[in-house]
Chains A and B, each alone.
Chain A
Amino acid sequence: GENVEQHPSTLSVQEGDSAVIKCTYSDSASNYFPWYKQELGKGPQLIIDIRSNVGEKKDQRIAVTLNKTAKHFSLHITETQPEDSAVYFCAASLVGGYQKVTFGTGTKLQVIP
């Protein structure tokens, strides 16, 4: 089955700096990679996703990159703000077939004002 590893488990950055969270996956058949943000007391919320036919996707201050050959993908947050503080989860799955979504263990991001 799929295995997703996520690093780092905790990350502290100064406000305005960039943050990068990295994930690796094991199943080369996986083709859909979403990222979720979980704020305190809330459920995870989808913030960006990428399919395997795309190498990079941006949405304002967040971007995701995917390297299919190396089987890793990363979340990039630029110009971090205190409201970016949360736990971020990556995930991998296969669209078009039935496969469980496999989540990473999460990264707790703290943005220091």
Chain B
Amino acid sequence: ETGVTQTPRHLVMGMTNKKSLKCEQHLGHNAMYWYKQSAKKPLELMFVYNFKEQTENNSVPSRFSPECPNSSHLFLHLHTLQPEDSALYLCASSQGLAGGGGRGYTFGSGTRLTVV
């Protein structure tokens, strides 16, 4: 257990479905992130929240919609996804932005998403 919990661990959804990924941290961190991890590609930053305010949207398609109700919880709402969106979605948190304020990120174990 790393301190960042992601649910569900696995998700299979059809292209017309709507689902949500959940991330929770009780580390007292103020920044939370969504990353996409695809095979043989670098980690792709999707969204950044600092003190529950979105500070970055890295040109992510609108079929991905983040929500951060407080500094401890982060959601990623999914709708009308494409098969190429299949990947491991990682949530991370840090104390301070930009490299985690010099203390790195704490990642969750991820949600393995398969779009059929």
Contact = CB atoms under 8 A, between A and B. Distances in A.
Chain B interface bracket (under 10, 10 to 19, 20 to 34, 35 or more): 20 to 34
A105 B97 CA distance: 22
B104 A100 contact: no
User: What is the predominant secondary structure among interface residues of chain B facing chain A?
Assistant: loop
Interface of A: 4, 32, 34, 36, 41-46, 49, 51, 89, 91, 93-106
Given A100-B56, A101-B45, A105-B40, A43 B109 contact: yes
Nearest to A92: B99
Given A36-B104, A89-B43, A94-B99, 19 more contacts: A34-B100, A34-B104, A36-B107, A41-B109, A42-B109, A42-B110, A43-B4, A43-B107, A44-B43, A46-B106, A93-B98, A95-B102, A96-B98, A97-B98, A98-B98, A99-B99, A101-B45, A101-B98, A103-B42
Contacts of B45: 100-101
B110 to A, nearest CB: 5
A45 B2 contact: yes
B32 to A, nearest CB: 13
